[in-house]
Amino acid sequence: MKKGRVFSGARPTGRQHLGNYLGAIKNYVALQDAYDCIYCVVDLHALTTVETTRDLRNNTIEMVFDWLAAGIRSDESIIFVQSHVPQVTELHMILSMVTPMGKLTDLPTFKEKVRMQPDNVNYGLLGYPVLMAADIALYKANAVPVGVDQAPHLEFTREIVRSFNYRYQCKVLVEPQMVVTEVPKVIGTDGQQKMSKSLDNHIELAATPEETQARVMTMVTDPARVRRTDPGNPDVCNVFSFHKIFSSPDEVAMVDTECRRAGIGCVDCKKLMAKNLNASLTGFRARRRELEGHPDDVMDILGQGAHRARAIAEATMAEVRDAVGLP
Ligand code: TRP
């Protein structure tokens, strides 16, 4: 017996990188054992910020390849594209009636977007969190795994759900819990900022072993270690953070000791890390190649996912329309 239903959404950002994997996908995979999981590609949310929609389809399928290859099981979990279940837009509209404007304009995420795209402060952007609340509420999710940056949105969702149930004197919508998981903050190859595609400091899961190694070789290490003979400090080295994830305990101990006494240089240290990283991605890459050869199967998976999602969505909407008193 499962503990309840998990829902999570991710914008279609194309090929996923190690930061996406360690920060979200790995957790999505693990949650399948304890929960009924629904994972959604939020293409409508993406519309609030993208300049062109040209790559939306391709970015969706590339992301879904990665999800499936990483171990999201489409026979159990529901994987689908947000816009394939249009009920979410109806719930979005209904929830907007219990959403105070001031709450939306106060959200740090909204303010940030206004700073980032001052020439494109559209209505959809303001309603972004309402659409997210609609996602979660439509599927009556009990638990939502999100990173800390999304915590205000989840708290907002809980408020909207309470307001709806109170306004219409019902118990139709379910207040979701936030599942906060211990996830390492994955720093990019620049050794400074969070790994992200837009900063081009990322390592793609689907890259070849050669590309991966080349990328690792560009990683910034302890800046104080200039010459090969200088002792290094693994505590401030991002390559060492990756060793801790991908290398054996013996290797981690060796690198720790040898770096500090300049016994190992950064080049060899990176080569070892790249080798271990590549080894851990072997199964993933084989599964991904298999899927890439059958893109129609992946479209079928998304079609079936949408079909299963629509059944849940329509049941919720019937209750919602009734609770609201729509004629
Ligand atoms: N807002 C989330 C993000 O930017 C994406 C998202 C949309 C989401 N709907 C969701 C996350 C529902 C969790 C649940 O990452």
Ligand 1 contact, 144 CB (< 6 A)? yes
Residue located nearest, by CA, to atom 15 of ligand 1? 10
* Mean model confidence pLDDT for the chain: 95
pTM of the model: 0.95
Residue 315, amino acid: A
Q: How far is the CA of 135 from the centre of ligand 1 (A)?
A: 8
Predicted pLDDT at 233: 95
d(C-alpha 162, C-alpha 261), whole Å: 59
Ligand 1 contact, 186 CB (< 6 A)? no
CB atoms within 10 A of CB 298: 19
What does the pLDDT look like over 22-47, one tens digit per residue? 999 999 999 999 999 999 999 999 99
Q: Tell me which H or E stretch contains 80.
A: strand 78-81
Give 139's contacts (C-beta < 8 A, 6+ positions apart). 5, 7, 38, 309, 312, 313, 316
Predicted pLDDT at 183: 74
Share of the chain above pLDDT 70, in %: 100
Q: How far is the CA of 143 from the centre of ligand 1 (A)?
A: 13
DSSP collapsed to 3 states, 138-178: HCCCCEEECCHHHHHHHHHHHHHHHHHHHHCCCCCCCCCEE
Q: How far is the CA of 182 from the centre of ligand 1 (A)?
A: 18
Residue 128 CA, closest ligand 1 atom number:
1
What does the pLDDT look like over 83-97, one tens digit per residue? 999 999 999 999 999
The answer on pLDDT for 51 being more than 80 is no
Ligand 1 contact, 277 CB (< 6 A)? no
What does the pLDDT look like over 117-176, one tens digit per residue? 898 888 999 999 999 999 999 999 999 998 888 899 999 999 999 999 999 999 999 999
Q: Among 153, 156, 157, 197, name the best residue to mutate to test ligand 1's pocket (greatest count of ligand atoms within 8 A of Cβ).
A: 153
Q: Which domains does the chain have, with CATH numbers?
A: 5-186+295-324 (3.40.50.620), 209-280 (1.10.240.10)
